[in-house]
Structure 1
């Protein structure tokens, strides 16, 4: 039973950490920008997926947010928000949302004469609760078949894997040198107490037997 609980907890931790990385790390889309606009948007229970307000309040508020509408090469649409991140999480240190909106507006094109754009962003698009990925940059590219290699993610995840391996190795060494000897010592103490208890029990039984034997 404990084995199932243990592996369930490990799976939940891994899934949560994986979702956190997937949301936070930069992702790249190849799209055709069709529109840019500002819209009064109500921020409520989904506040954690938007930039922090000046007041830092999680209460419902209406905020003017920039948006970028685009179309993928397979004709599926995608909408990005365009907000500064400041110095808070995630650490993109983005302060140029106005410039990015101007660049995106300049890159708009139609289906007849498409201008393909590489949009770097983080976050998810969940229409049910009005969550949008936050665009970080927009760069014109030659066409929809341009190959983009996520070098940052490759390097970051490699260092993360190396760090986790080092932490695991340190933990195993700490366990071998510190925890395992303590466990062995405790087990030896329990064995000694158990042996003393058994000896005391045998002595008590012998005493009772002698007492009853005398009475008999």
Structure 2
């Protein structure tokens, strides 16, 4: 049971880690090398695509904006640029057209690089054709700039506070309600056991009197 308990909590922890890693904003320092508008047929991986742009009908085949970028070490990255609207994750993004124009303005060449911070959520997976969704682009001073994830810090601090308060409430509830109830149950169980032992003892004593009675 001990190993089963640890396995259960390990699975829960991995699921929570994957959920937050996919949903919370991340920042990449890259150089934008191109933008494009591509026709996409959303298939089995539709969970990793946003809904159609706000004000447009949903369809499994639609035009999607993409932003092509390069990391300082030369590795490539591709972002999709889709509205999230009022759906999940709650970024309330409705300006994919404006973001695409801004990304075009920040495009640069290797000899005159313009480094930008791309704020996004999601993962990049070539096997399953999954792209992170860019939610903001901002020019930065250079490739070595450090972006402090204030949003993530605030969210995790708030979650830690909520978990701390829930634990305190549970401990107080257990101390005031659960533990006394369990103690009362144990007391009644001990009393019942003593009573049963007393009755059984008297019964055995009565049986003993029959053993000591001489036969006629």
- Where do residues 108-147 of structure 1 align in structure 2 (5 Å cutoff)? 108-147=107-146
| Distance in 2 (alpha carbons) for counterparts of 1:190 and 1:9 | 33
- Residue 35 of structure 2 corresponds to residue 36 of structure 1: yes
Distance in 2 (CA, whole Å) between partners of 1:19 and 1:149 is: 21
Q: How many residues align?
A: 212
**1:155 CA displacement:** 2.1
TM-score (norm 1): 0.89
Alpha-carbon shift at residue 190 of structure 1 (Å): 1.7
Q: Residue 180 of structure 2 corresponds to which residue in structure 1?
A: 181
Distance 2:57 2:65 in 1: 19
Task: Give the whole-Å Cα distance in 2 for the aligned partners of 1:20 and 1:70.
Answer: 25
SS of the equivalent of 2:116 reads strand
Partners of 2:57 and 2:112 lie apart in 1 by 44
After TM superposition, the structure 1 = structure 2 runs for residues 11-30 of structure 1, keeping only pairs within 5 Å, are: 11-30=10-29
Q: Using the alignment, how far apart are the partners of 1:194 and 1:63 within structure 2?
A: 74
> How much does 1:56 deviate?
7.5
Residues in 1 aligned to 2:190 and 2:213: alpha-carbon distance in whole angstroms:
35
Q: Tell me the CA shift for residue 23 of structure 1.
A: 1.3
Give unmatched runs, 5+ long, in structure 1.
Answer: none
Give the equivalent residue in structure 2 for 1:67: 66
3-state SS, counterpart of residue 127 of structure 2: helix
- Which deviations, in whole Å up to 9, do the C-alpha atoms of 1:15-71 show, x marking residues without a partner? 2222211211111000011121122223233222211357779xxx32322111111
Q: Residues 200 and 56 of structure 1: is their aligned pair in 2 closer, same or farther, counting only changes over 3 Å? A: farther
- Give the whole-Å Cα distance in 1 for the aligned partners of 2:195 and 2:46: 63
TM-superposed deviation, 1:215: 7.1
Quote the residue 1:50 is aligned against: 49
Structure 2 residue runs without a partner (length 5+)? none
| TM-score, normalised relative to structure 2 | 0.89
SS of 1:127's equivalent in the other structure is coil
Return the alpha-carbon distance in structure 2 between the equivalents of residues 184 and 192 of structure 1: 12
Match of 1:92 in 2: 91
Considering only aligned residues, what root-mean-square deviation do their CA atoms show, in Å?
Answer: 2.1
More displaced 10-residue stretch of structure 1: 119-128 or 156-165 = 156-165
Residues in 1 aligned to 2:16 and 2:86: alpha-carbon distance in whole angstroms: 22
Question: Residue deviations 1:85-140, cap 9 Å, x none?
Answer: 11111111000001111111222122222111110001111222111111001112
Q: SS of the residue aligned with 1:33?
A: strand
